[in-house]
Structure 1
């Protein structure tokens, strides 16, 4: 008999918050499994609305092998207008499918899972690409929403000990709340209304909802600076051409008018790409210490599967899933 479980968001949050280092390790392993070809990660599918041009719902189907052996799909909505009402921009569910039978085995509330895998990816990149300098110097976080807050939590789990954290957002109250959150983690934090000041930090994190580049094209990044281009569209293509560029997946990043996609259109090629984060992790690719490095992750469904499988396993062990008896209307073929 096939069972079907639901994992509510509060259960998923408890699991994720208790061991962020484990989530970072899961994301690291998923990247390496994906790089080794033991995954299937098709293009994301975007549902857009003519009367709501800034809103979208995205489907991310994927299969992850390497011991996880699950398929699934994340269905995540991004409605920026929610923020004006004090609600999170994003909401999501994750369906996990058994690889042997194809049957769905669980439905998880996944806004927290999505934020955690994104933040774990950012923290892993900061630790891998910048080492001690990125984690101990001055940090700027540009954009002050749920993703930004979650990234600071995961940076702390990765060994972050910043000298100072600058929080920049067009909505100053949000920047103030993020600064207060960072302060609660034990770090010195303040807001800044100056984008230029933020861009001068050793580690710069972009976590905005920007639809197109706004950072000045004549901005110069310093050697050794690490830029986490999480929101993907803040940076002009000219800026990328003067830095090492590390992506999560090259093909995925070269679409939807992301900064790397714009750089490809500008140059007519991909020579500006240094490699993937998995290639850096494995030692196949090294970055130039004489240049800044920009990490641009499009966001892979295999990461949602890795983190979702972990959450489901932990929730089942704690007996905190909600079983749905009789979910499948036909248990036998005959």
Structure 2
């Protein structure tokens, strides 16, 4: 038979798939799924870091939406895809409006969209300020554990910045077995410092905290702590003297913009992802701009976990995590699965409409 006249090959018969569904998971459900599971969530975040380090993820640069009329505000899009057992795509859309605090609202608000890996259809929208705070705190607790393995374990912790993220980090440290002889607190807002002090005293009644001191200055706090947590809303460096760190503390630089480049250049610097962290005028980005190179970076947290690098104990060690969307997906998918298991998943009927190609 003339091959030009033979019947054209027919496409393989595709199997019908169920009509896609869409769920909304509120903040109360998110908190219920996560509360009290700090150890498991740190393990989940560690697994997410390892998948990312192994290349089983897609984590493009975050996109910053800024406003000429509101220069302190921003909304950030974090698209990502993660493989392994998580096997989901998605987007975190998180806003930071510092002026909210004066109005009695939290600074940050967020949603997380989960997309089906095979069809691309979004299947859930989750309240994500709690998810974001959880993955940030779990990452900080994970880093504190791994980065203290080559040095004496810190017993004196200090918090510069005393908002929601500081509270979550303390919760995750306590929930993963950390205890401290002393806890220092410093904030430019006396009300915030007092509120955090009250929180620490309340949880201290249950054996999670040591002696709590509110410090009048950041210098006093840093010099008296061997684990320092920066969780502020600073948009430019306000800590400039490397001499504050001569006792070689471990620093969780969660807010990313507190430390002057000179401090980083005198320290061992660990990041979560090099390309992500060296952008948007973070302290590591400013150090790169000042020096014209990245030699001041010692490695990533994944490098530490896999044994490729071991931070020395004779210098300050600074962990600067930009925050990876793959971690939000890992935590968000865990929440989704927990809500499904509970039988409390709230589906939006007929969210997707007109699904037939030709009507």
Q: Which bracket does the TM-score occupy, shorter chain normalised?
A: over 0.9
Structure 2: runs of 5 or more not aligned: 1-18
**3-state SS of 1:227 partner:** strand
Judge conservation of contact 1:123–1:155 (CA < 8 Å) in 2: yes
Judge conservation of contact 1:96–1:305 (CA < 8 Å) in 2: yes
Corresponding residue for residue 37 of structure 1: 55
Cα drift, residue 135 of structure 1? 5.4
Corresponding residue for residue 306 of structure 2: 282
Corresponding residue for residue 120 of structure 1: 138
Give the Cα separation in 2 of the matches to 1:245 and 1:206.
15
Aligned partner of 2:185 among 167, 171, 190? 167
Give the Cα separation in 2 of the matches to 1:320 and 1:54.
38
Deviations 1:160-201 (A, max 9, x none): 101111111011111111122122222122211121111111
Aligned partner of 1:193 among 216, 240, 259? 216
Corresponding residue for residue 125 of structure 2: 107
Pairs within 5 Å for 1:181-330? 181-186=199-204, 187=209, 188-200=211-223, 201-222=225-246, 224-330=248-354
2:66 counterpart of 1:66: no
Structure 1: runs of 5 or more not aligned: none
Judge conservation of contact 1:136–1:160 (CA < 8 Å) in 2: no
2:165 counterpart of 1:142: no
**3-state SS of 1:323 partner:** coil
Corresponding residue for residue 14 of structure 1: 32
Judge conservation of contact 1:168–1:193 (CA < 8 Å) in 2: yes
Change (3 A) 1:281 1:206: same
**3-state SS of 1:278 partner:** helix
Give the Cα separation in 1 of the matches to 2:293 and 2:93.
32
Deviations 1:243-300 (A, max 9, x none): 1100000011111110000111111111110000011011111101111100000011
Give the Cα separation in 1 of the matches to 2:152 and 2:127.
33
After TM superposition, which residue ranges in structure 1, 4 or more long, deviate above 6 angstroms?
none
Cα drift, residue 303 of structure 1? 0.6
Cα drift, residue 332 of structure 1? 3.5
Judge conservation of contact 2:240–2:262 (CA < 8 Å) in 1: no
**3-state SS of 2:123 partner:** strand
Q: CA RMSD in A?
A: 1.4
Change (3 A) 1:132 1:318: farther
Cα drift, residue 330 of structure 1? 2.5
Give the Cα separation in 2 of the matches to 1:6 and 1:260.
37
Judge conservation of contact 1:75–1:93 (CA < 8 Å) in 2: yes
**3-state SS of 2:308 partner:** coil
Give the Cα separation in 2 of the matches to 1:181 and 1:332.
55
How does the TM-score come out when normalised to structure 2? 0.90
**3-state SS of 1:208 partner:** coil
